[in-house]
Copies of this chain bind each other. A is one copy, B any other.
C-alpha cells in the first residue's frame, strides 16, 4: 500500500466552494483501480489549507492509472482551479 499526500492551499474565500466540489470529486477517485480509501483534512492553524490523503494499492495506480485516465480530466476540471499554488504531491510507504 502507498499513501499519496497532497497539501492543498485554496484561493482566499473559496474553501466552502472547494469542499462542495470535493464532495463530488471524491466519487471519481473512489471508483479507480487500486484505490483503497481517502481523507480530506482541514488545517486548524491555517486558513484555506487542507491535506488530501489517498491510499492506493501501488504507486502506479495513482501515477499511471489515475493520472492518465479520462476520470482525471474530470477531477482536474472540478478541483484544480481552487489551488494556489498548485500542490506538490508526494507518496509515502508505511514504516509503522
| Residues of chain A from 70 to 96 with CB closer than 8 A to chain B in the complex | 90-96
Interface size of A by CB at 8 A reads 26
Stoichiometry, as copies per complex, reads 2
Q: Are B2 and A44 in contact (CB under 8 A)?
A: yes
Q: Are A91 and B5 in contact (CB under 8 A)?
A: no
A17 vs chain B, min Cβ distance (A): 13
Minimal Cβ-Cβ distance residue in B for A49: B90
Q: Which of B3, B23, B95 contacts A96 (CB 8 A)?
A: B23
The residues of B that contact A5 with a CB separation of less than 8 Å are: 41, 51
Q: Which residues of A contact B (CB under 8 A)?
A: 2-3, 5, 19, 22-23, 26, 38-46, 50-51, 59, 90-96
